[in-house]
Amino acid sequence: MPIMKTKRDDRTDIKTVTSLCNFSTGGPLKEFRGEILNCSPEGVCVEINEPVDTGAVFMLKTVEIQFESYPSDKTKYIRMYSLAEVKWSKPIEPPDRGRYVIGMRYI
């Protein structure tokens, strides 16, 4: 029986700081920091400290990464700069902690 490949197979666990700046029109610019938890060829999973709307577009900037600390295959999907769209967002339990995990797709 063949082994099925899942989306998780393409993800690389990595912890690095990122800066997010909203890239949508019609509102004030807002910038905040988050932590990239994992990445893939299609996007990243980021932990942040405030809710964001699904569909929002942000400029992602990788702020701190020690490339020498990771094997090259762990960092191959990290983009130093990229536009990314929020595909999903959910609070980290317990919800009163004020932390959220968001899934973002590179544009």
- Please state, as a whole number, how many other Cβ atoms lie within 10 Å of the Cβ of residue 78: 19
Which pLDDT band holds residue 15 (cuts at 50, 70, 90)?
confident
Asked if residue 7 is part of any domain, the answer here is: no
Asked if residue 56 is part of any domain, the answer here is: yes
Question: For residue 100, what are the domain limits?
Answer: 14-106
Asked if residue 36 is part of any domain, the answer here is: yes
- Please state, as a whole number, how many other Cβ atoms lie within 10 Å of the Cβ of residue 51: 11
CATH of the domain at 39: 2.40.10.220
**pTM as predicted:** 0.77
Backbone angles phi, psi at 30, to 5 degrees: -135, 130
Asked if residue 28 is part of any domain, the answer here is: yes
In the chain, how many domains are there?
1
The gap between the terminal CA atoms of the chain, to the nearest Å, is: 36
Asked if residue 5 is part of any domain, the answer here is: no
The pLDDT tens digits for 35-76 are 988 888 889 999 999 888 999 999 988 876 665 555 556 556
Q: Which residues of 22-46 are buried (b: 16+ CB within 10 A; e: fewer)?
A: beeeeeeeeeeebbbbbbbeebbbb
Asked if residue 8 is part of any domain, the answer here is: no
